[in-house]
């Protein structure tokens, strides 16, 4: 059940990240929060006039337990063998579970992912290079989005190592979004 739009009371202190600054904060037990977005295994909440990102592992603090969305966003957690072919489609699919916490569109459809390149190393393992950007160069959430990308791509079968490079040339603009993203955001 999607809880977006619900106002809930936190059941315990919960660590969060202020959006867009990226500053760690603690939302105290008993705080009233409005869930504004539930995508990619994380929650964006409005608390005391600020937006904050709460990790899916802390859904219980929002009184939710583990939501269907968090379950769907989980990538295969079993240990994967690092040798063997890596499908770029599998990487792009898992990237579609990564979201900017302010925008309810995945980073692929937003046009933030510029390049995905799989490199077979001499020892038979696979290294993935990802070149991406952010909607704004000074976005404090950048490190958290990059960490999310790295963790999810590492879960793809046969991926041994991931390097994510943030670039700001070319500068992102709305024309880089997919038609689906523009439609979803009402930008047609």
Residue 35 lies in a domain: yes
**Strand pairing class (50-55; 113-120):** unpaired
- Give me the number of domains the chain comprises: 2
Number of Cβ atoms within 10 Å of the Cβ of 44: 25
Q: The domain containing residue 26 runs over which residues?
A: 7-73
pLDDT(68) > 90: no
15 and 48 belong to one structural domain:
yes
Give the per-residue pLDDT at 81. 54
Give the per-residue pLDDT at 86. 86
Confidence of residue 96 (pLDDT cuts 50, 70, 90): very high
Residue 165 lies in a domain: yes
Helical axes 142-154 vs 88-95, angle rounded to 10°: 140
Q: pLDDT digits over 45-57, tens only?
A: 999 999 999 999 9
Residue 112 lies in a domain: yes
pLDDT(76) > 60: no
């Amino acid at each position: 059940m999607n809880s977006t739009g619900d106002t809930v009371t936190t059941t315990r202190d919960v660590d969060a990240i202020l959006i867009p600054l990226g500053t760690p904060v603690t939302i105290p037990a008993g705080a009233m929060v409005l869930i504004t977005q539930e995508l990619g295994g994380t929650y964006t909440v409005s608390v005391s006039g600020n937006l904050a990102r709460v990790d899916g592992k802390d859904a219980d603090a929002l009184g939710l337990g583990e939501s269907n969305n968090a379950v769907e966003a989980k990538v295969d957690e079993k240990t994967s063998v690092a040798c063997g072919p890596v499908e770029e489609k599998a990487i792009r699919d898992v990237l579609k579970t990564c979201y900017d916490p302010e925008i309810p569109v995945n980073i692929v459809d937003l046009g933030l992912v510029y390049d995905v390149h799989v490199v077979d190393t001499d020892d038979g393992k696979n290294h993935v290079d990802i070149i991406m950007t952010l909607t704004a160069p000074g976005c404090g959430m950048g490190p958290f989005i990059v960490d999310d990308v790295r963790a999810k791509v590492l879960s793809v079968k046969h991926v041994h190592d991931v390097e994510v490079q943030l670039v700001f040339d070319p500068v992102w603009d709305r024309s880089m979004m997919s038609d689906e993203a523009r439609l979803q955001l009402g930008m047609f």
